[in-house]
């Protein structure tokens, strides 16, 4: 069976948790496409060359989730040649046998416009920054909330205003605002949507 779930949205909206939950529930493969851009961003040298020659070691680096990697990712992600170099891999993944969940910024709009389910996950910038701040270890780890909020806003701005594949919901995407939802509730809503589309409402 070919079945793609496209999950897009801004930084720290809950895409990762929802994607992992949906993939586990239906036995689909999951690709966090942000990791590709993060790996290109931190690799150094020419980003286009880096995107064309990404290795599994690049994708296993321990620092890919850092704030620095997020900022570096959103800079290289504005380059059309970088996006083009990563496109085929994502498209093949999306249409692999057995079902796939991809999360990112342009999955429903550019990578897989034919996706069977499209979700656009959002939450207020303050709530997203707080979640990212807690993920980074909060005050105990020396993370500064105001800095995290500023970086989230800067990245959103760059992602929404770039010319190539800007962050925006596909016309047929279902919007899911997770501001007031627990992660379990957000996953449950996404699972219900996928189940309905699969025609297996008993799942």
Q: Which one, 78 or 195, has the nearer CB to ligand CDP? A: 78
Please report how close the Cβ of residue 183 comes to ligand CDP at its closest, in angstroms. Answer: 14
Q: Which one, 26 or 37, has the nearer CB to ligand CDP? A: 37
As a whole number of angstroms, the distance between CA 97 and CA 102 comes to 14
Alpha helices in 53-168 (DSSP H): 67-76, 80-94, 125-135, 145-161
DSSP string computed for 22-49:
HHHHHT-EEEETHHHHHHHHHH-S-HHH
- Tokens standing for residue 184: 């379990």
Edge-to-edge, what's the strand order for the sheet holding 100-104? 29-32, 100-104, 4-8, 117-122, 174-177
Stated length of the chain: 203
Please report how close the Cβ of residue 185 comes to ligand CDP at its closest, in angstroms. Answer: 19
Please report how close the Cβ of residue 101 comes to ligand CDP at its closest, in angstroms. Answer: 13
Q: Which one, 33 or 201, has the nearer CB to ligand CDP? A: 33
Q: Give the distance, in angstroms, between the CA of residue 6 and the centroid of all CA atoms in the same chain.
A: 9
Q: Which one, 25 or 65, has the nearer CB to ligand CDP? A: 65
- Residue 87 contacts residue 31 (beta carbons within 8 Å): no
Which residues form the interface with ligand CDP (CB under 6 A)?
11-12, 15, 33-34, 37-38, 70, 73-74, 77, 104-106, 155, 159
Please report how close the Cβ of residue 152 comes to ligand CDP at its closest, in angstroms. Answer: 8
Please report how close the Cβ of residue 105 comes to ligand CDP at its closest, in angstroms. Answer: 4
Q: Which residue has the tokens 């900022």?
A: 71
Please report how close the Cβ of residue 6 comes to ligand CDP at its closest, in angstroms. Answer: 10
Q: Which one, 159 or 200, has the nearer CB to ligand CDP? A: 159
Q: Which one, 122 or 194, has the nearer CB to ligand CDP? A: 122
Tell me which residue has its CB nearest to ligand CDP: 34
Strand partners, 103: 7, 32
């Amino acid at each position: 069976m070919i079945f793609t779930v496209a999950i897009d949205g801004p930084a720290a909206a809950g895409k990762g948790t929802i994607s992992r939950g949906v993939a586990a529930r239906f036995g689909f493969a999951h690709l966090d496409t942000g990791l590709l851009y993060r790996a290109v961003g931190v690799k150094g040298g020419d980003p286009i060359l880096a995107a064309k020659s990404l290795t599994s070691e690049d994708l296993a680096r321990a620092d890919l989730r850092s704030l620095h990697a997020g900022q570096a990712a959103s800079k290289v992600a504005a380059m059309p040649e970088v996006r083009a170099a990563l496109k085929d891999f994502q498209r093949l993944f999306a249409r692999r046998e057995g079902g796939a969940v991809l999360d990112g910024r342009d999955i429903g709009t550019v990578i897989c416009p034919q996706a069977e389910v499209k979700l656009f996950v959002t939450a207020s910038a303050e709530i997203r920054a707080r979640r990212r701040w807690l993920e980074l270890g909060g005050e105990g780890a020396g993370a500064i909330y105001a800095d995290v909020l500023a970086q989230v806003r800067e990245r959103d701005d760059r992602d929404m205003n770039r010319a190539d594949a800007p962050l925006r919901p596909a016309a047929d995407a279902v919007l899911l605002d997770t501001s007031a939802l627990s992660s379990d509730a957000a996953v449950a809503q996404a699972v219900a949507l996928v189940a309905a589309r699969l025609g297996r409402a008993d799942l």
